[in-house]
Structure 1
Amino acid sequence: MAIQTINPFSNELIKSFQEMSPEVVAVEISIADETFQSWRKTSFPRRADLLHGIAKLMRKQTDELAKLITLEMGKLLAQSYAEIALSADIIDYYATNGESFLSDQKLETEFGEAYIKSTPIGVLLGVEPWNFPFYQVARFAAPNIMAGNVVLVKHASNVPQCALAIQELFVQAGAPKGLYTNLFVSGSRIEQVIADPRIKGVALTGSETAGASIAAAAGKHLKKSVLELGGSDAFIVLEDADIDKAVDWAVVGRMNNTGQCCVAAKRIIVLEAVADEFLDKFKAKLSDLKVGDPMDEATELGPLSSEGAVIQLIEQVQRTVRAGAKVLLGGKLIDRKGAFIEATILGDIKPGMAAYHEELFGPVASFYRVKSEQEAIDLANDSPFGLGGSIFTNDIERGKRLAEKIDTGMVFINHPTWTQPDLPFGGTKGSGYGRELSSLGIQEFVNKKLIRVSELTDPF
């Protein structure tokens, strides 16, 4: 497996790394397991102090870390800065709230006393993606370390310097060796790691294919798993919406991270009464996006993460068009060095076409016209995915009523699907299971131990 930094703006190979041997991985697991035996006994204040220190270091090194993100996977620099800020906020959030989230839960019982105590379960494996190389790791590592677990992280092979930088933050903050460990291993070796009896759980953010593989391995070895997989979020615009604001949010929702986001607004569903107005304004906004170097603050549309990502996306577009869909905007590779594709809108999409059923991971929007709100909901739910979605309307009660009918893990009203530390993140159907972030995110990998106290004279 190639573990390399390849700048997607220039296609230049920057740096290569060696994959760890099975023997080295075994040693790292042993160290992590030894560290867990002591870390599990540390106090919440001790854990919180370490995490606050890591967040402080992350903010102090924002310039360096943000540029590393942009170098390795092509994110616009301003968005890389925002990712570092969000990641630090998540770490601080769990440092501040973790103890209260895991406090003993008293149970009402007929006699005596009973309560639930949350205890750590051990060494956890996180398999993390390239599209948000710090944020995704923060939302896995911070709550679990605060809970008293320790973590191993197999990061995506195209962001190795980000992977090492995260581990280095733990070192600089004084974390014990083995609390956070980066593993340079190929995806084909993950089942071997999961099979190790010292690994007690696994979390993955990635594709459906990877999720199915991880879930099968975890199930085979009776390990708990949490999966956050792909998405094809519906962005529903009702006839009473503020169209200008909806268009602005559609551009953000679809083009954030160059469209390489699980919760991107991939399917734009607009009521017929306002469809023409919305489409005209949406096309104009996307047509005006400035293409260029993601390190340049003026750039609005940068490269995808790799040449391979561009090839896959353009192939999906072409298959959709060959099946009868229309290109309403863009649809082609940009004639320049780097992993660039035009901002694209596809229309006349029907069931059976690639864009109807598959996740399009890049700056390609699928546009649909519908005649009624029920047709909008039916279309939104006609997807193998169920991660997020959004509804735009000036009638909030109407929006909430429709939101309850959408079969996803998250629905936002008058905002594209988004993320913040105190909101749970996760989906249904092919988008996975379990939750990260909020109070729910720290509950996934703890043992909910019942402690029952009875008097000797209490009846059975």
Structure 2
Amino acid sequence: MIINSTNPFDGAVIQSYETHTANEVAGIVNAVNSAWANWRNVPFSKKAELLNNTARILRERKSDLAMLMALEMGKPLKGGIAEIEKCAECCEFYAKNAADLLKPELISTDASKSYVTFEPIGVVLAIMPWNFPFWQVTRFLAPTLMAGNCGILKHASNVFGCAIEIENIIKAAGFPENVFRTLLIPGSEVNAVIENEWVRAVTLTGSTAAGKKVAEKAGSLIKKTVLELGGSDAYVILHDADLELAAETCVNSRTINSGQSCIAAKRFIVVEEVIEKFTELFVKKMSSKIMGDPIDEKTDIGPQARMDLRDELHEQVKESLNMNATCLLGGFIPDGNNAFYPPTVLTNVTKGMPAYDEELFGPVAAIISAKDEQHAIHLANDSVFGLGAAIFSRDVKRVENIAATQLQAGACFVNALVKSDSRLPFGGIKQSGYGRELSHYGIKEFVNIKTVYIK
């Protein structure tokens, strides 16, 4: 099968890739499992050296890698460079800390000695999306390799070039052959990989629908999964918020990666007392974002990654408008053979509309009115998703308690946009998935937590 990589800016085919056959896939998985027999015993110090090499190469090549992302999925260059820097930092974090994070834990019992060890389990399959094609792979790969596991990547078909470059970087860093490999296969062939006896666990970042399918297949085989799925993050703006800060932060979060981020702000829940002023500031700041060629350094918002995704987004907007939402900005498909969608602001958004109930994966903001603080919290939690949330108020002590105890999400931020950080766990609840990536929680997801008891 031939899969084309298409530039969403102009519709041009960048590269054509011949996918791996079933026999080739089986051979790659077997090779990775064979490599694990030695890799699992490599000292932390050596693994750290190789991962630090990876960080160095990423930084050396960040301009080229950012250009590749711009061409394959439309990411503006400055966003691509920031993504590669973040990947390098993640590699350095695990290179520095993995040995300590996985050191045995002594437990006092009636035994003469008892403790817990954290041992690698084997080959981990990663099924990754296109929107952060290097970062989402790195946050799986760095802890996986440092834990002594080996990795296989099934990347999104529109970023096969990025997938190949990740494997090349791992090789250039000096990792042993077959410790990490990329599979060039369509999504329809993933189940066969999950079924392979040497694949011990699966991690997926993607849509809730994709997560359900992978969890069903892996669960039927008693293979552990970590799922980081969709989100419709609510940002709550209370009556005493710094509205200038709130509007600036909310717009930046909504337009990160041209709006194509699972933890981008999507629903803006504003108490009635300040909704008029907030909306005015929000629309002004959204309209200032520059949409254009992703390789132009002035561009804030590039095209959506694919035409079909852009069209799906527009259908969600149209349906919301047909249900009496109001469009204050954008809301149309620009002319041209490209996948652009302009910064869009919808108000009068209510339950039952796609803009309220669904994930809008693009630069479309839904402003929702709340009667008061408790109503705002209720609206924020009134979602099938639970990935991230933020709340804005000058009374930090009061809203810290709301963030910690009342907002239903895997991460809750106060007066700041939701973001991932290698030092902090990342993941969601409800239909946003389960399990955690990053921090010490992430590196322990795919290890054998083994009890050792000595009488």
What is the TM-score with the length of structure 2 in the denominator?
0.98
Match in the other structure for 2:156 = 156
Match in the other structure for 2:105 = 105
Aligned-pair CA distance for 1:369: 1.4
- For structure 1, the residue ranges without an aligned partner over 5 or more in a row are 455-460
Instruction: Say if 2:287 is the partner of 1:287.
Output: yes
Q: Deviations over 1:259-310 (max 9, x none)?
A: 1000010001111111111100111111122221111111122111011111
Alignment of 1:229-268 (within 5 A): 229-268=229-268
Match in the other structure for 1:16 = 16
Aligned-pair CA distance for 1:156: 0.5
> In the aligned structure 2, how far is the partner of 1:149 from the partner of 1:446?
8
Q: Deviations over 1:192-235 (max 9, x none)?
A: 11111111000000001110010001101110000000000001
Q: State the one-letter code of the partner of 1:425.
A: F
Q: State the one-letter code of the partner of 1:315.
A: E
Instruction: Say if 2:391 is the partner of 1:394.
Output: no
Match in the other structure for 2:434 = 433
Distance 1:264 1:71, change over 3 A: same
Matched residue SS, 1:46? helix
> In the aligned structure 1, how far is the partner of 2:110 from the partner of 2:397?
42
> In the aligned structure 1, how far is the partner of 2:300 from the partner of 2:453?
59
Tell whether the 8 Å contact from 1:55 to 1:92 is kept in structure 2 after alignment: yes
> In the aligned structure 2, how far is the partner of 1:64 from the partner of 1:176?
25
Tell whether the 8 Å contact from 1:4 to 1:160 is kept in structure 2 after alignment: no
Tell whether the 8 Å contact from 2:249 to 2:416 is kept in structure 1 after alignment: yes
Number of aligned positions between the proteins: 454
Match in the other structure for 1:4 = 4
Alignment of 1:225-374 (within 5 A): 225-374=225-374
Q: Deviations over 1:120-142 (max 9, x none)?
A: 00011000010000000000011
Match in the other structure for 1:80 = 80
Match in the other structure for 1:168 = 168
> In the aligned structure 2, how far is the partner of 1:288 from the partner of 1:171?
43
> In the aligned structure 2, how far is the partner of 1:117 from the partner of 1:271?
50
Instruction: Say if 2:91 is the partner of 1:91.
Output: yes
Tell whether the 8 Å contact from 1:2 to 1:157 is kept in structure 2 after alignment: no
Distance 1:444 1:108, change over 3 A: same
Aligned-pair CA distance for 1:111: 3.6
Instruction: Say if 2:122 is the partner of 1:122.
Output: yes
Match in the other structure for 1:442 = 443
Match in the other structure for 1:419 = 420
Q: State the one-letter code of the partner of 1:142.
A: A
Matched residue SS, 1:227? strand
> In the aligned structure 1, how far is the partner of 2:214 from the partner of 2:2?
21
Tell whether the 8 Å contact from 1:226 to 1:433 is kept in structure 2 after alignment: yes
Tell whether the 8 Å contact from 2:3 to 2:19 is kept in structure 1 after alignment: yes
> In the aligned structure 1, how far is the partner of 2:86 from the partner of 2:4?
26
> In the aligned structure 2, how far is the partner of 1:380 from the partner of 1:390?
9
> In the aligned structure 1, how far is the partner of 2:45 from the partner of 2:4?
38
Aligned-pair CA distance for 1:341: 1.1
> In the aligned structure 1, how far is the partner of 2:308 from the partner of 2:75?
16
> In the aligned structure 2, how far is the partner of 1:366 from the partner of 1:350?
9
> In the aligned structure 1, how far is the partner of 2:300 from the partner of 2:222?
46
Aligned-pair CA distance for 1:337: 3.5
> In the aligned structure 1, how far is the partner of 2:281 from the partner of 2:336?
27
Matched residue SS, 1:262? coil
Match in the other structure for 1:406 = 407
Q: Deviations over 1:287-339 (max 9, x none)?
A: 12222111111112211101111111001111111122221221111223311
Tell whether the 8 Å contact from 1:423 to 1:438 is kept in structure 2 after alignment: yes
Matched residue SS, 2:411? coil
Match in the other structure for 1:457 = none
Matched residue SS, 1:182? strand
Q: Deviations over 1:396-447 (max 9, x none)?
A: 1111121120111000001111111111100000000000011111000000
> In the aligned structure 1, how far is the partner of 2:4 from the partner of 2:426?
30
Q: State the one-letter code of the partner of 1:35.
A: A
> In the aligned structure 2, how far is the partner of 1:371 from the partner of 1:449?
51
Tell whether the 8 Å contact from 1:232 to 1:386 is kept in structure 2 after alignment: yes
> In the aligned structure 2, how far is the partner of 1:241 from the partner of 1:350?
23
Tell whether the 8 Å contact from 2:350 to 2:368 is kept in structure 1 after alignment: no
Tell whether the 8 Å contact from 1:4 to 1:159 is kept in structure 2 after alignment: no
Match in the other structure for 2:43 = 43
Q: State the one-letter code of the partner of 1:205.
A: T
Match in the other structure for 1:222 = 222
Aligned-pair CA distance for 1:71: 1.0
Q: State the one-letter code of the partner of 2:453.
A: R
> In the aligned structure 1, how far is the partner of 2:172 from the partner of 2:265?
38
Aligned-pair CA distance for 1:2: 5.5
> In the aligned structure 1, how far is the partner of 2:373 from the partner of 2:315?
32
Aligned-pair CA distance for 1:4: 2.5
Identity of matched residues, %: 43
> In the aligned structure 2, how far is the partner of 1:4 from the partner of 1:96?
39
Tell whether the 8 Å contact from 2:111 to 2:453 is kept in structure 1 after alignment: no
- For structure 2, the residue ranges without an aligned partner over 5 or more in a row are none
Q: State the one-letter code of the partner of 2:344.
A: T
> In the aligned structure 1, how far is the partner of 2:209 from the partner of 2:2?
20
Tell whether the 8 Å contact from 1:143 to 1:442 is kept in structure 2 after alignment: yes
> In the aligned structure 2, how far is the partner of 1:347 from the partner of 1:405?
25
Farther-moved stretch of structure 1 (189-198 vs 284-293): 284-293
